[in-house]
Structure 1
Amino acid sequence: MSRGYALRRVGWGVATIYLVLSLTFALVAFTPDPNAALVGFAAAVEGGSAEEAMSAYRAARDLNTPVVQRYVGFLVDLSTLRLGVSLDSGRPVATMVGASGLVSLAYVLPAVVVSTVVGSAVGVYTTVRDSPVLDRLVAVASYGALGVPNFYLAALALAVGTALGLDLRASPTAPTTAVPLRTLVLAAAVLTTTLLAAQLRYVRGETASRASMTFVRTVRATGAGRLRVARHLLRVAALPLLSLFAAELLGVLFVGTFVVEAVLGVPGLGTLLLDALDTRDVPVVVGASLAFVVVAIVVTVAQDLLRESLDPRTGEE
């Protein structure tokens, strides 16, 4: 892999971060803030001035400053990683994002590891085992898991837990350090279901399409066992599997984290971003969005660099 390619991919990643966060800023800046009307209504109900209350609300959120000036300040703060403080709680945004990110990581990382290891192992085993009955069972199980929405699995698990006298849902208003372990385990299990099914189908499809190639027949002819054949198949299928699983991973994470955290009450990054959007807390919106975008860019760039390194056709420039 050439140094120039790596620099181009990293540069693309940085530019994408600025672009996505700029679009996020524009989405918040150019849409009406419904909370201003609510503040005015509450003041009027209490006998105060609605206009004064709304003016004070806009001033507290710097909404009276021209958009261009706010955007320039946004770019400066982003470039210097000054995320500021929450407009609602007054807490440092970096602290809030870090705490929520650790909660999300506590169930996302196990889900990714388990789905990758188990999905790869079972997928390649079904290929080298070459059993029609096993293939049908795996296909039914994987397609069934992919067809059931995450929110339904989470809601069903909550209902079963309630019937058994177990409270599996966390309190979204509780501190991030107070999330029950059983809730994190359930969140990891729900995410693993979809990721494992996808990884299983990808590995099975890519290795099965190469099982009849000459190099596989040659390896089998030498008397190699299934484990050795599986290693050869995975090595050859590594490049397409890397791209497929990276795309699936990002899709599931960016949708699954919001859904799972909303249903189970997990105070992770998804919950933090949704709450900030609801209250128009721009610093928190930018900070949480930055975390999601950075994860997406890091995964994409890492995938590209690994693919370039693993591709035997790639030489030094």
Structure 2
Amino acid sequence: MKRLEYLMRRVFQAVCILLVIAVVNFMLIRAAPGDPASVMAGEAGASDPIFVAQLRERFGLDKPLPVQLLTYVGHVARLDLGESYRQQRPVASLIAERLPATLILTLTAFVAALTFGVTLGAWSSAKAGTWMDSLVTTFSMIFYATPLFWLALMAVLLFSVKLDWLPGFGYETVGSGYAGMARFIDIVKHLVLPATVLAVFYMAVYARMTRTSMLEVAQMDFIKTARAKGLTPGRILRRHILRNALLPVITLAGIQAGAMVGGAVLIETVFAWPGIGRLMFDALVQRDYNLLLGTFLVTAALAVAFNVVTDLLYTLVDPRIELK
């Protein structure tokens, strides 16, 4: 019951936060240079001021800014993200088409980064001071410091162009006609490179944090007590050190899980992955305000949702934490 009350309170807070984010995003986008009506008129080859005025009137861009803001907030409160200026389709429909691809990419990268990062960090802390610890630390620093776009381009050149092991672009083979398991395998092949490149940066962060946190926990009094009681090193490592060292890792992972969804723009652009990040970039170039606001709001909602889930995971990892 207490957990349900906590969850309902956090959901109410999340809704309030998202409304504030919607207002801030609206004001920031409207403050940016560029006019959707002028962009669309230019693409249509018409610079007639009357045609531009008609476009502004059609999309409500001729109304005062406060009126536009109230209209937008009212639509968001009804879960209506409006219509794309450029594609003449509901924004929610466009996002729904692209969101699964982004979730597949980011969740795969997130799980891989967290799993391998925590494993390498735990192994490195257990071998602290040895050449293996130095090797893990060195590679973690290299991947952390390497620009993501450069790593993505090198991965395409090496594994796709040079070795021809994996496809370098797209979500699946165009015109292949695959179905069932064959289509699944084809998507997985296309997923390997972008997911791996996106994962290695976060894996390096989790490995470093896990190692540092475990070395700190290993010096605490209750670990000394566990050793004095005769517990095996493996059990001490798994049940006592790692479990208590995971809290800061979970905190960082909860923050980065939401940021990873919105931050996949670069990876999706390099690998031509048809996700929400690429949709966001296209909307920005085309000055498609409604579509851009919709993508911002959805990524913000995912970030808030991941933070709520992270708070709930705290109580599972450490029962001493109370829900308030």
TM-score under structure 2 normalisation? 0.84
The equivalent of 2:191 in structure 1 is 184
| 1: CA distance, partners of 2:217 / 2:254 | 21
SS state of the match for residue 28, structure 1? helix
In structure 2, give the amino acid aligned to 1:277.
L
Check whether the contact 2:81–2:294 (CA below 8 A) recurs between aligned residues: yes
Whole-angstrom CA distance in 2 between matches of 1:39 and 1:92: 18
- Given that 1:127 and 1:204 are in contact with CA atoms closer than 8 Å, whether structure 2 keeps it comes out as yes
**How much has 1:55 moved relative to structure 2?**
1.4
Q: 1:91 Cα deviation (Å)? A: 2.4
The Cα shift of 1:191 comes to 1.0
Instruction: Tell me the secondary structure at the aligned position of residue 136 of structure 1.
Output: helix
Aligned residue-pair number:
311
Shift of 1:171: 8.3
Residue 83 of structure 2 aligns to a residue in which SS? coil
The match for 1:270 is 277
Equivalent runs, 1:117-196 vs 2, <5 Å: 117-160=115-158, 161-165=160-164, 168-170=168-170, 181-196=188-203
Distance verdict in 2 for CA 1:251–1:76, change over 3 Å? closer
Name the structure 2 match of 1:22: 23
Match of 1:78 in 2: 76
Aligned 8 A contact 1:104 1:268 in 2: yes
Residues 60 and 164 of structure 1, relative CA distance in 2, 3 Å threshold = farther
Q: Which residue of 2 aligns with 1:59?
A: 57
- The CA distance in 1 between the partners of 2:231 and 2:242, in whole Å, is 18
CA deviation map 1:74-101 (0-9, x unaligned): 1121111122332222223222111211
Could you tell me which runs of 5 or more consecutive residues in structure 1 were left unpaired when the two chains were aligned: none
Measure the CA separation in 2 of the matches of 1:274 and 1:253. Answer: 13
Q: Tell me the SS of whatever aligns to 2:217.
A: coil
Asked if the contact 1:195–1:252 (Cα under 8 Å) also holds between the matched residues in 2, the reply is no
1:91 corresponds to which residue? 89
Contact 1:202–1:244 (Cα < 8 Å) also in 2: no
Instruction: Tell me the secondary structure at the aligned position of residue 209 of structure 1.
Output: helix
Q: Structure 1 residues 181 and 52 mapped into 2: Cα distance closer, same or farther (>3 Å)?
A: farther
Specify the code of the residue in structure 2 equivalent to 1:26.
M
After superposition, the C-alpha distances for 1:246-276 in whole angstroms (9 at most, x for unaligned) are 2344444433x01101111111111111111
Q: What is the alpha-carbon root mean square deviation over aligned residues?
A: 3.0
Runs of at least 5 residues in structure 2 that lack an aligned partner in the other structure: none
Aligned to 1:259: 266
Following superposition of structure 1 onto structure 2, how do residues 98-109 of structure 1 map, counting pairs within 5 Å? 98-109=96-107
- Paired letter, 1:63: L
CA contact (8 A) 2:258 2:303 kept: yes
Q: Could you say which residue in structure 1 is the equivalent of 2:113?
A: 115
With over 3 angstroms needed to count, the CA separation of the structure-2 counterparts of 1:59 and 1:184, relative to structure 1, is farther
Identity of aligned residues (%): 27
TM-score, normalised to structure 1, is 0.86
Q: What amino acid sits opposite 1:10 in the alignment?
A: V
